[in-house]
Each structure stands twice: as structure tokens, then as C-alpha cells.
Structure 1
Amino acid sequence: MDITNLIVPKKSIGGVCIGDSIEKIEAGLSGHYKIHKEQNSLTLDDGFIRAYYGPDGIITAISCNSKFTGSYQNKLWAGMTVAEVLTHSKEQIAWSGFVQVDKISGSGLSLPEEHDDFESLTDHFALDFIFDELWVYDF
């Protein structure tokens, strides 16, 4: 399995897909990446990509950090600053612990727990604040 630089909301990051078997992903990527497996997540290269799975071993959500160089339509990527979010999107809302932009459901930038809601991004965050993680989910 080769990692791509694609982000597909509600579906995948880098070719790791929601609905895939974690064993399939682990087998396809072992030898290419440093893998750390926990009870409900599989991490590649210290968070480059992290797949979350349920007791059945099926991936339910995926995240990546700024080491992942892909983006969604040059509008959304891990490691964005607040200034970049404001430049590359027209609308930003807080939704379920994430910054969702331009009504693109199924993907978002992870908000710190202490700031899980906002009226405007600049209410709580400086323009140089970096959103370390991007998530893809289907809820």
C-alpha cells in the first residue's frame, strides 16, 4: 500500500479509508513506516497518520499531523494557521470539537479542549495559532 497526499472528507487520508480493516492497513504499511498500535488506534510515524478503530477492527476516523503534506482542495490541511484558515475559506464554524470550513462536512481541524466553541476564530486564537491535526470522520 502506498500513502497518497489526498484528503477526502468522510472517507480517507492518504489512502487510509474509513471502513477498512486495521489489519489490512497494518499489513500494507509495515516495513514502510514506524507503526505504533494501541487498543483503538494505529499510528504511523508519530502521528503522520493515525487511524482509529472499534472492537471489530474497522476504521471509524482518521487524523494526520503537519508531517502529512496533502490537502483537501488546497483549502484544508494539517498545520494550518488561523490566518491561513481565514485566507482559504469563507466560513468557519465550531462543530463537535473541530473547525469546519465552508460547510465541508466529514473533515475538520481539531480544536483544543479548552476552546471547543467560538463565534469567530480570532475570538480565542491568534493569527499565528497552528491547528496541529486534521481529522476525517463520517459522523
Structure 2
Amino acid sequence: MVDFNADIVSFISLGNVHLGDSIDLYLDDIFNNYTVEIKEYSLPAPLNETRYVYSVQNGTLIIATTTDDIIVSVGCNQKYAGKYKGKLYAGITMEELSQCSKDLRILNGALIVDRDYGLSFTLPPPYDEIADSLEQIPHDLSLNEIYVCDHSGWVTK
């Protein structure tokens, strides 16, 4: 059952929605208890894959699936109450995040915390496009989206 207070678990789950599960396991719950908007989008080349996004309760929870209904990422916005490791949450400021982490990296418009490639904070526009270093991000900027997924392909060698 979806829970907007559940812990955020890197590479595993957010909101009690688990990566690798079929969205079918959650459809009754989300459609009977929340407002849901579904959108389709395409990944850019070379992947050229189609994905579906279920925005639950105005983006409080965001579930992305493959065309085979397999959950590949789960995100949340600042209305979500759960935390990662009891301290990181959607809506945290850049300054707070910097103080709570040992290592921050900007990759593909997202922040990776402490080399944990199973969780990312999305940088809002225009910083997702223009920030090449942490110094270019204002300390008071709110980071309102967190995603749990597998970004291990982003690991630099």
C-alpha cells in the first residue's frame, strides 16, 4: 500500500512502491485513494524507449514504468513526508544537503549524494542545464524532487 510517510530506500523503494515490481500491484490502491494522471514519454536516442509516468496526488509520488508495466523509478515532491536515512527529504535546501553529505556530484541535471547512485535529487530549471559545479547552485535553492532508481550506469570510472 502506498505510504507518503515511508522511508526512502536507495535502489529499492519510495512510498512503499518498489523498483522492479509491476505497476499492476499498485493500481487499485492509487486509483481508489488518490488523484492520478498518466503521461507517456519517449527516452532520447540511443534508447528510444517509451515510458509511462503515473503522477499520484499532484506529483507527491511519481512512478515511471516500461511498456511492460515494470517500475523503473519512483520519485516524490516536497509534499512527501518520508526521508532518506532519516535526514534527507524533498524540499531540502542546497545548503542543508551540503551539510548533511560528504560528497555531492552533478550528473545529467541531478545531484548524486555520497556516491549513492540509487537516489538522486533533480536540479530545477535553469540549474539542470547550466550548473557545472556546486558553486553555481544557490545555497537557498529548494531541491523539491527526489528519485529512487538505478543510476549505476552513471558511475565514472
- TM normalised by structure 1 equals 0.89
CA contact (8 A) 1:75 1:89 kept: no
8 A contact 2:2–2:26 mirrored in 1: no
1:20-39 deviation line (CA, Å, top 9, x unaligned):
11122111222221111223
Q: 1:75 to 1:118 in 2, by over 3 A?
A: farther
* 1:70 is aligned to 2:82: yes
Q: Does 1:44 align with 2:45?
A: no
* Counterpart for residue 91 of structure 1: 103
Structure 1 stretches of at least 4 aligned residues deviating more than 4 Å after TM superposition: none
Task: Report the AA paired with residue 23 of structure 1.
Answer: D
Between the aligned partners of 1:34 and 1:15, the Cα distance in structure 2 is: 17
Alpha-carbon RMSD across the aligned residues, in angstroms, is 1.6
Cα distance in 1, alignment partners of residues 145 and 120 from structure 2: 9
Q: In 1, Cα distance between the equivalents of 2:26 and 2:39?
A: 14
What is the CA–CA distance in structure 1 between the aligned matches of 2:96 and 2:122, rounded to whole Å? 15
How far apart, in 2, do the equivalents of 1:75 and 1:95 lie? Answer: 22
Partner of 2:144: 132
- List gaps (5 residues or longer) in structure 2: 41-51, 152-157
- 1:79 pairs, out of 91, 94, 103, with 91
SS at match of 2:33: coil
1:15-54 equivalent positions in 2, closer than 5 A? 15-39=16-40, 40-54=52-66
Number of the residue aligned with 1:102: 114
The 8 Å contact of residues 93 and 141 in structure 2, kept in 1 or not, is answered as yes
Given residue 7 of structure 1, which amino acid in structure 2 is its aligned partner? I
What is the distance in 2 between the residues matched to 1:104 and 1:9? 7
Q: Do residues 12 (structure 1) and 24 (structure 2) align?
A: no
Length, aligned pairs only: 137
Percent pairwise identity: 29
TM-score, normalised relative to structure 2 = 0.79
Distance 1:134 1:79 in 2: 9
> 1:118 is matched with which residue?
132
